[in-house]
Structure 1
Amino acid sequence: MKTLLPTSTAGSLPKPAWLAEPEKLWSPWKLQGAELLDGKHDALRISLQEQQAAGIDIVSDGEQTRQHFVTTFIEHLSGVDFENRKTVRIRNRYDASVPTVVGPVERVKSVFVEDAKFLRQQTTQPIKWALPGPMTMIDTLYDDYYHSREKLAWEFAKILNQEAKELEAAGVDIIQFDEPAFNVFFDDVNDWGIACLERAIEGLKCETAVHICYGYGIQANTDWKKTLGSEWRQYEAVFPKLLQSNIDIISLECHNSHVPVELLELVRGKKVMVGAIDVASNSIETPEEVAATLRKALQYVDADKLYPCTNCGMAPLARDVARGKLNALRAGAAIVRAELAGK
C-alpha cells in the first residue's frame, strides 16, 4: 500500500560537530584519512536514524559525505583544477572562489555510488539521492576551456547520467537534480537547460526529480530574496516547459516564501515535492502551519502526487532545529492525511 503524502527532505541535514564545523556551508572536515571515511559513514547512519525517528517516509543520506552540494561532485572529475581558483558571481548573487575548468571534463570514477550502496544496506525505505544539476554546476566554476556555458553543461549532463545510472543500480529510488540556477537564468533554462537535464536522466527507470529553490538560509540568499518584491513568480518562466519534460517530480519552495501557490497549476499532472518547511529561519513550524501549506497546495496538486518536503537543504541549521522541523513536517502531513482519509 503506497503512503499518501510521503514526506522527504530536499537533501542536506546538519552534520555532527565532530565531523565538521556546525551551522556553516563549505565547512572543512575535522577528520582525515580512514577516520574521515568512518566518520562520514557514522554521520550518514545518524542522519538516517534522525529521519527515521522523525517518521520521514523517503529518506536520504542527509548529504553527510559531501562538503558542498556542487563542488564535492566536481572534485571527483578530471579537467578541473582546484588549486587554480577564480572568483565568480554565483547565480548573480554572491562572489565565491571556485575551481577552474582547464581541460575536457570526465568522470574517472563514481562519486557517490559507494555511499548510496551503504545507505541502501541500512534501510528498506525508499531512498532519494541528490546530484547537482548541469546548469548549477557550470554556475559554480570558472570555465577556461570550453568557453561556452551550454557546451560545458552538455558535458556535465553526460557525466551525471553515468553517475545516475550507477546510483539506480545501487538501489536508489528517486534521483534528484538540484537546479537553483533554474530560478535565475530563464532564457538558458528554456533554450537548453531542461534539455540538458533530460540528457542527465536518459535511460533511467527510477523516479527523477528536479529541485528548484531560492537557496539555503544564508545571508546572500536572504538579501537577494528581499529584492524580489511581494510576489516571487520565477517559477512561471520555467514550469510550462518542465511540465512537458520527462522529469517525474518537481521539488519547489512554498512555506514562508512569496511564491503564489496558484503557480502550481502550471505543473498540474506532475508529482510535486512541496516545500512546507522554511530553511531560512530557526523558528520551528507547528504541525498546523505545515498542514496549512499542504492544504493550499492541494488546490492545485492531486493528493496522490503531493510529496511534503523542506524548502531546501538544512545543512546550515542547528541539529535540534532541523530535528524539530522534521518532526513538524511529519506531524503536519499526518494531519492532512487524516483529513483526506476522512473525506
Structure 2
Amino acid sequence: MTIKTHNLGYPRIGDFRELKFALEAYWKGDKTQAELDAVAAEIRYQNIQTQIAAGIELIPLNDFAYYDQVLNMSTLLGVIPKRFRQENYELDVAFRMARGRAPSDDQACCAGHGHQANPSKAGYAGAMKKWFDTNYHYIVPELYDDTEFAITDTRLFAEVAEALALKGDGQNIDFKPVLVGPVTYLYLAENVGHAIPKLSRLPALLKIYQQILQKLAEQGIHWVQIDEPILGLELSAEWQQAFDFAYAELSQTPVKILLASYFETLGAHLDLVCNLPVAGLHYDGLRGEKQLNALIAQYPADKVLSLGLVDGRNIWKTDLNAALASLQAAKDKFADHLWIAPSCSLLHVPLNLEVEDKLNPELKSYLAFAKQKLAEVKLIADALNGQADQAALQANAKLMADKQQSELIHNAQVQARLAQLANLPLDRAAPYSERARLQKAKFNLPLFPTTTIGSFPQTAEIRQARRQFKNGTLTEAQYIAAMQAEIRDVCERQERIGIDVLVHGEPERNDMVEYFGEQLDGYAFTQFGWVQSYGSRCVKPPIIFGDVSRPQAMTVSWSQYAQSQTDQIMKGMLTGAVTMLQWSFVRNDQPRETTCNQIALALRDEVLDLEVAGIHMIQIDEAALREGLPLKKSDWADYLRWAVNSFRVTTSGVQNDTQIHTHMCYSEFNDIIEAVAAMDADVITIETSKSNMKLLDAFVDFAYPNEIGPGVYDIHSPNIPTVEQMVRLTEKAAQLIPAERLWVNPDCGLKTRGWAETEPALANMVKAAQQLRAQFVDKQKTA
C-alpha cells in the first residue's frame, strides 16, 4: 500500500517577492514581457523543485498567475469584455481586465517596448472581490449577451509542456493542472446588463472545459484538479443540479478528475458529492472537521479520497499525532486510494519560515510556512505508509504539549479578566435618543457636519522619517517632533478648509492593523511573511500568537497633542477588534470569539483613556466586519453575535455625551443591517459614492435609527469631485435619511492620496455642506 502526497497550489510571488517587483517594472515600462516571463518561469521552476525535494508526488500546475487564478480562467475561456477584446490574445489583455490599462496603452513606455501607444485599448477595470472568506482577491468575470466561450489564452498548455520537460526518468512525480471548476466559475461571474441567466450558459461552457481536458490528456496529463469551493456554500436546488450535469459531461473526457472542495463542510451537499462521477475528491479536513467522519464513512472506497489536515490558511505547525488519529479510519477504508495534501492551496500562507531570523525562537518553533507544510504532508503520508519518523512525531507531540503550557502564549491576568466579561454591561448607559440630545448640546455642530475618515496623505517625508526612526538614524525625540509637525500642519489645513470635526491625520501609523498590533502583547510580526492579495499587491499579516493585552496607551499622546493645536473638536481614531482579528494570522488553540474579546478589552482601555484625556469623539473602524461572515448563512447569527458584542465591549464604558463613530468600507449591508444597528454607534460612516448612494437603501428599509455619514466622494480616484456632485449625492441621501442625522465626509481615509488633490476635494466638500445647509434652511422657511 502506498498513500500518495500531493499539493493543491503553491505561493507564486517568489522567495522575496520577485513577481511583485517584475510586474511593477513591466507596468512602468522598465522590463519587457520577455523579461517578465523569464522571472515567472524561474519562480515556477523553483516551486516545482521545492515540492519535488519535499517529497510531493503529484505537483500542481496552472497555480501560477500574474494576477489571479480566476482571471486566468477568464482569459483561458475567452471571457473577455468587449472593451478589451482584440483579434489575437496577448498578456496585456489580462492586465487591462485587471487594472484598466496595460503598458502598451501608455505613451511613456511605448518607446521602450518598440510599439505605438494605443489608448483606445484602455478601459475601466473589472470588479474585484474577496476569494470566499480569505484575504485574497479575484477579478470578477463579466458575462454579456454576446459572450462566446472559446479557448483564447494558451498559457496553460505552455506551462504544462514546460513542467513535463522537467520530469526525469525514474522520478516518482507527476503533474496535476488546476482549474477553477465550471459551476464555481459561473457562480462567481457577474451578468452584465440584460445578459441571459448564468446557468443557461453551462452547456456551452462545458464544451470548452472538455476541449481543455482533451488537450491536457493529449499532452500526457492523467489527473486534473478541478476546484469547486462553492460546495462549501448553501446552494439552491438548481445550482446543485448543475453539478450533476457538469460532471456527467466532464467524466466523458480521458483525464481523471480530482474534485476539490475546501474552506467549509459539504453540509447538505454530502450526498450530491459522494455520487458525482469523478475519480476522486479532495476535502478540507480542518475547516470541514465536523463532517469529516461522515464523509469517510459515505464516500465510495473505490475512489480516491484526498484529505487535508495541514492548514493551508494559517501559519501554525500541524499536530501530527492528532492528524494521524483523524486519518486512521480513512486509511483502513481507502488504503492506497487515500491521498494526503494541505487543506487548500498554500497560496494563503508565507513561503519559507527559514528566512525569519528575528522572531522569538519559541514562537518560531510553533510555526510552519508553505515550505514547512510540504514537509508535514510528507511526514503524515510516511507514517500512514508504515515509515513513521518516530523522532519527528515525538518532538511534535512534545511541542504541542509545551505550547499548551507556554507562558509566552498564556497570560493569567488576561484570562482572569476575560472570565469576568459576562459581568460587563454591553449597553451604553442611555439609549441613542438621549445620547444624541446630550451630544448635540455639547458639540453644537451645524447641520450636515463635515469630517474625514482619519488618515491624511502619507507623504514621502513621513515615510522617510518612519524608516529613519526604525533603522536608528532618527532618535525618538526627533521622530516625535517630526510627527508633531505633520499633525500641526494637518490641523492648520483642516481649519483653513473649514472642516467641523478634525482628525490628527495618523502620520505615525504605518498600517491600521500593524500600528496597533506592534503595541499589543500577544502580537508578532515577520520580516518576510508576505502573501499575495492580488497581482503585485502583497500583504504581511500580523501573527496573533497569545493572549492579547495593552501594556500602555497607544494613541492618547498623539490625540492629546492634536487637540492642543486647535479649539475645534478632535476625533480619536482606533481600529476595531474584528478588523484586527480578520487581517491577521490568528492563533488556532482557542475560539476566534475569545481572541476577539481579548482585543476588544484592550481597545476598551484605550477608549476610556482617550475620554479621560479630553477626546470625546472616538472612531473605531470595523472595515472587516462583513468580511468575517461564515460561508454558510446558517452560521451567520453566531458570528454576528460575538462580532457585535466585541464592538460593544470596546465602546460601552464611555459617558453618554462621548460620541462613538465607526467606519465600514464597501459593504452590502442589506442582509446584516440589524447587526450594524445593534453595534449602537452614534455615527456610522460608510463608502457609498461608487454605488451612487444605492447602499443606503438598506438603511431605509430598516429605518436605521442613528446618524450616518455616507461618503460623498471616492478617495480611490485621483479625480477631484465638484461641489455639485457632492451636493447631488447628499441630496439623494437626504431623501432616504433625515437631514438632521446626516454627516458629510469622504468614502474612506486619504492616506494614499496627495495633498494636491486632497485639499481642493475637501474644500469642495465643505462648500457642498454649506450649500446644503442653506438649502435646508430655505426649505424649512417655506414649509
- Superposition TM-score tier, normalisation by shorter sequence: 0.7 to 0.9
Q: Which residue of 2 aligns with 1:39?
A: 482
Q: Which residue of 1 aligns with 2:524?
A: 81
Higher mean displacement: 199-208 or 80-89: 80-89
C-alpha distance 111-169 of structure 1, shift in aligned 2 (>3 A): same
**Aligned with residue 753 of structure 2, among 294, 303, 317:** 317
CA contact (8 A) 1:9 1:309 kept: yes
C-alpha distance 138-342 of structure 1, shift in aligned 2 (>3 A): same
Q: Which residue of 1 aligns with 2:699?
A: 264
CA distance in 2 between partners of 1:198 and 1:144 (Å)? 23
Q: Which residue of 2 aligns with 1:247?
A: 681
C-alpha distance 236-342 of structure 1, shift in aligned 2 (>3 A): same
Residue type at the aligned position of 1:213? C
Residue type at the aligned position of 2:665? C
Residue type at the aligned position of 1:197? F
Q: Which residue of 2 aligns with 1:113?
A: 556
| Deviations, residues 143-185 of structure 1 (Å, cap 9, x unaligned) | 2364432211111110010000001111112111111112322
Structure 1 ranges of 4+ moved more than 6 A = none
1:225-236 equivalence runs, <5 A: 234-236=668-670
Unaligned runs of 5+ in 1: 22-26, 215-232
**Aligned with residue 292 of structure 1, among 689, 708, 728:** 728
Unaligned runs of 5+ in 2: 1-443, 630-635
CA distance in 1 between partners of 2:639 and 2:560 (Å)? 32
Q: Which residue of 2 aligns with 1:199?
A: 649
C-alpha distance 103-183 of structure 1, shift in aligned 2 (>3 A): closer
Residue 29 (str. 1) matches residue 467 (str. 2)? yes
CA contact (8 A) 2:711 2:746 kept: yes
Instruction: Using structure 2 for the length normalisation, give the TM-score.
Output: 0.39
CA contact (8 A) 1:268 1:300 kept: no
CA apart distance, 1:189: 5.3
CA distance in 1 between partners of 2:704 and 2:734 (Å)? 11
| Deviations, residues 278-332 of structure 1 (Å, cap 9, x unaligned) | 1110000001111111101111221221110110001001111111111111011
Residue type at the aligned position of 1:211? H
SS of the equivalent of 1:130 reads strand
Q: Which residue of 2 aligns with 1:128?
A: 571
CA apart distance, 1:258: 5.7
Residue type at the aligned position of 1:29? R
1:51-70 equivalence runs, <5 A: 51-70=494-513
Q: Which residue of 2 aligns with 1:154?
A: 597
Q: Which residue of 2 aligns with 1:220?
A: none
CA distance in 2 between partners of 1:189 and 1:84 (Å)? 32
CA distance in 2 between partners of 1:189 and 1:291 (Å)? 38
SS of the equivalent of 1:128 reads strand
1:81-100 equivalence runs, <5 A: 81-83=524-526, 86-87=529-530, 96-100=539-543
Instruction: Using structure 1 for the length normalisation, give the TM-score.
Output: 0.86
1:146-225 equivalence runs, <5 A: 146-186=589-629, 187=636, 190-205=640-655, 206-214=658-666
C-alpha distance 115-247 of structure 1, shift in aligned 2 (>3 A): same
Residue type at the aligned position of 1:152? T
Q: Which residue of 2 aligns with 1:24?
A: none
Q: Which residue of 1 aligns with 2:765?
A: 329
If each structure's helix is expressed as a fraction of its own residues, which one has the higher value?
A: 2
C-alpha distance 84-153 of structure 1, shift in aligned 2 (>3 A): farther
CA apart distance, 1:89: 7.4
Residue 282 (str. 1) matches residue 732 (str. 2)? no
Residue type at the aligned position of 2:517? I
CA distance in 1 between partners of 2:627 and 2:693 (Å)? 15
CA distance in 2 between partners of 1:129 and 1:288 (Å)? 30
CA apart distance, 1:106: 1.1
C-alpha distance 268-139 of structure 1, shift in aligned 2 (>3 A): closer
CA contact (8 A) 2:455 2:506 kept: yes
Aligned CA RMSD, in angstroms, stands at 2.2
CA contact (8 A) 1:13 1:315 kept: yes
If each structure's strand is expressed as a fraction of its own residues, which one has the higher value?
A: 1
| Deviations, residues 71-104 of structure 1 (Å, cap 9, x unaligned) | 101111112122476456779xx75212222222
CA contact (8 A) 1:209 1:250 kept: yes
CA contact (8 A) 2:547 2:595 kept: no
SS of the equivalent of 1:19 reads helix
SS of the equivalent of 2:456 reads coil
CA contact (8 A) 1:63 1:69 kept: no
**Aligned with residue 17 of structure 1, among 430, 438, 460:** 460
Mark the structure with the bigger radius of gyration: 2
CA apart distance, 1:39: 0.7
Q: Which residue of 2 aligns with 1:218?
A: none
C-alpha distance 244-18 of structure 1, shift in aligned 2 (>3 A): closer
CA contact (8 A) 1:131 1:177 kept: yes
Residue type at the aligned position of 2:668? Q
Residue 4 (str. 1) matches residue 454 (str. 2)? no
SS of the equivalent of 1:340 reads helix
CA distance in 2 between partners of 1:267 and 1:55 (Å)? 31
Residue type at the aligned position of 2:660? T
